Amino acid sequence: MTDAPILEMRNISKAFGGVQALSEVSFSCRKGKVHALVGENGAGKSTLIKILAGAYQADSGEIVFKSRRYAGFTAREAMAAGISIIYQELNLVQFMTVSENIFLGREPQSRLGIIDARRMAKETADLLGRLHVRLSPSAEIGELTVASQQMVEIAKALSQNADLIVMDEPSAILAGQELESLFATIRSLTDEGVTVIYISHRLNEVFEIADDVTVLKDGRVVGAQPIAEVTRARLIQMMVGRPLEEVFPRARRSRGAPVLTATNVTTERLPHPASLTLYEGEILGLAGMVGAGRTEAARALFGADALRSGQIVLKDTPIRPQSPKEAVEAGLALVPEDRKTQGLFLDQSIRTNITLSSLNKLTRFGVIQSGRETETVERVRRELSIAMASPELEAQHLSGGNQQKVVLAKWLQTSPSVIIFDEPTRGVDVGAKFEIYALMRELAERGVAILMISSDLIEILGMSDRILVMHERRIVAELARDEASEERIIELATTGGQAESAAS
């Protein structure tokens, strides 16, 4: 019976020192179904899963798995019972083959006690076949894409006869066709009766793949129900404790004068002339499919790619930035798509990352004035609500949301007139998204002109005062806020408006 619960975690509590991570949490999932586990960072998801995996022992409560009661598991007991965890950071040996990774420590042996490589390769091929994955058992892991490596992790779980597979943020490293392949694999698993717990911040995926959803907040369950019975607005409200209309703060002022105008701009990466105008106090959304040219447009404005033609005017002054440095000096800032490689020095302190762009304001005779630097860091920590144990902590130890705030803090020290946000909330939990949205709207209220590039249509519709749509590296439409919809943007982004032309 597929609706019977395969797992029940009853009244689970766990504290670390004086901090209560979980409080009387009860969680269950049905056999052969996908159960989404969602919540902000710090909600307790990881702690609950680590108790299930045997990495932590609960202070109280019990686990019922396949009708058998357990006070708790060791990691070995959890695996033997049929529970497998696939963490976001994949646990594979890069220089070993696919089959060697799948059967590591459990290699089939011949009668003479020698590893039976032929049998191992055959069983690997059978496992990959069940998942409809075309990979060679002899392929070296280090030569595979991350998506293929993830499929190897799933095959490894199946080789351990897993009845329950937990996937922790599986889509964080995937996009497009790779994500569709993952969903197809998950569906084939559930068709075989395997249960999947799917942990994700991406609510679109939750609604696409999950049968049921449980929401954790502050170590407690605030909701658990079939996905068909919950709306996106209700799910967000449970996660952050605020209605959806409060998640996207609306403009309280009308837009001002033009701040930046780009006319017929082209670069090597942006071959078709692009024109746009950014107004004081406005958030202009830039939508389109992956590869449509949105980031290329941002690079052109920010001086990262040399202009071939066209003109950029900032506050009535023509500019032609030959580098990001010149763009920053002119009054532009860019919060990049990939903060870890393009926005931060992860192995440097939070202090260094925040003050890097404004050292000229903090030095005297070439020496950094530590008092002024400390004052600056403390001020922006308060203003942006950056959660950090110490400014001396390396930036890599911050959550995604706090890393994004540090990138923004760095640029705010330059007092920009225009800020380009490229995927501002990618890899950020729902609660931190709200804070970033509030910061963006506050900047707009101060008169800053914002260009927001996003693949999240809900974000585009919720935050934008006006929307531009790109298709095949052209700007094909401009939409007022009240005339935009998901369907309209998708149609323009995929056809460039050609379907409308054909219909008329």
More confident site: 123 or 181: 123
**What is the separation of C-alpha 265 from the centre of its chain, rounded to a whole number of angstroms?**
31
Q: How large is the C-alpha radius of gyration of the chain?
A: 25
Mean pLDDT is lowest, of 69-73, 387-391, 500-504, for 500-504
pLDDT value at position 501?
A: 45
Contact 73, 48 (CB under 8 A): no
- Cα(100)–Cα(102) distance, integer angstroms: 6
Specify the CATH class of 258-341+417-503 in words. alpha beta
The pLDDT tens digits for 365-402 are: 666 667 777 888 888 888 888 888 888 889 888 888 88
pLDDT value at position 319?
A: 94
Q: Which of 245-249, 252-256, 261-265 has the highest mean pLDDT?
A: 261-265
pLDDT value at position 502?
A: 45
**What is the separation of C-alpha 224 from the centre of its chain, rounded to a whole number of angstroms?**
23
CA dihedral of 179, 181, 186, 191, whole degrees rounded to 10 = 150
pLDDT value at position 128?
A: 87
The pLDDT tens digits for 354-372 are: 887 776 676 676 666 677 7
Task: Please give the structure tokens belonging to residue 432.
Answer: 């931190």
Mean pLDDT, to the nearest integer, of 28-42?
90
Which residues, 6+ apart, have CB-to-CB distance to 209 below 8 Å? 34, 36, 183, 186, 187, 198
Mean pLDDT is lowest, of 117-126, 154-163, 185-194, 235-244, for 235-244
Contact 153, 91 (CB under 8 A): yes
Supply the mean pLDDT for the chain: 87
DSSP readout, 367-436?
Answer: EE-HHHHHHHHHHHHHHHT---S-TTSBGGGS-HHHHHHHHHHHHHTT--SEEEEESTTTT--HHHHHHH
Task: Please give the structure tokens belonging to residue 132.
Answer: 């409809």
- Cα(156)–Cα(172) distance, integer angstroms: 20
The strand pair at 466-471 and 474-480 is best described as antiparallel
pLDDT above 90: percentage of residues in the chain: 45
Return the closest-CA partner of residue 436 out of 206, 299, 444: 444
Helical ranges in 69-202 per DSSP H:
75-81, 98-102, 117-130, 146-159, 177-191
CA-CA-CA-CA torsion sign (187, 188, 192, 194) = negative
Q: Reply yes or no on whether the pLDDT at 301 is more than 90.
A: yes
- Cα(397)–Cα(388) distance, integer angstroms: 9
CA-CA-CA-CA torsion sign (350, 354, 355, 357) = positive
Secondary structure (3-state) at 252: coil
| C-beta neighbour count of 89 within 10 angstroms | 8
Mean pLDDT, to the nearest integer, of 66-73?
90
pLDDT value at position 341?
A: 81
Task: Please give the structure tokens belonging to residue 43.
Answer: 């909600």
Identical fold between 5-241 and 258-341+417-503: yes
More confident site: 419 or 377: 419
Task: Please give the structure tokens belonging to residue 308.
Answer: 């071939």
pLDDT value at position 148?
A: 85
Q: Reply yes or no on whether the pLDDT at 174 is more than 80.
A: no
- Cα(484)–Cα(479) distance, integer angstroms: 6
pLDDT range class, residue 12, cuts 50, 70, 90: very high
pLDDT value at position 503?
A: 43
pLDDT value at position 386?
A: 87
The pLDDT tens digits for 190-214 are: 998 999 999 987 788 899 999 999 9
State the maximum Cα–Cα separation within the chain, in Å, rounded to a whole number. 83
Task: Please give the structure tokens belonging to residue 210.
Answer: 């999950």
Q: Reply yes or no on whether the pLDDT at 452 is more than 90.
A: yes
Q: Reply yes or no on whether the pLDDT at 346 is more than 60.
A: yes
Residue spans of the domains in the chain: they are 5-241, 258-341+417-503
The pLDDT tens digits for 303-340 are: 999 999 999 999 999 999 999 999 999 999 999 888 88
Task: Please give the structure tokens belonging to residue 127.
Answer: 């496992």
pLDDT value at position 504?
A: 41
pLDDT range class, residue 25, cuts 50, 70, 90: very high
Q: Reply yes or no on whether the pLDDT at 499 is more than 60.
A: no
Mean pLDDT is lowest, of 9-13, 175-179, 245-249, 443-447, for 175-179
pLDDT value at position 272?
A: 94
pTM summary value: 0.62
Return the closest-CA partner of residue 344 out of 409, 279, 289: 409
Q: Which of 21-30, 168-177, 248-257 has the highest mean pLDDT?
A: 21-30
Secondary structure (3-state) at 41: coil
The dihedrals phi and psi of 53, each to the nearest 5 degrees, come to -80, -10
pLDDT value at position 164?
A: 95
CATH 3.40.50.300 is right for the domain spanning 5-241 = yes
Q: Reply yes or no on whether the pLDDT at 290 is more than 90.
A: no
Contact 447, 282 (CB under 8 A): no
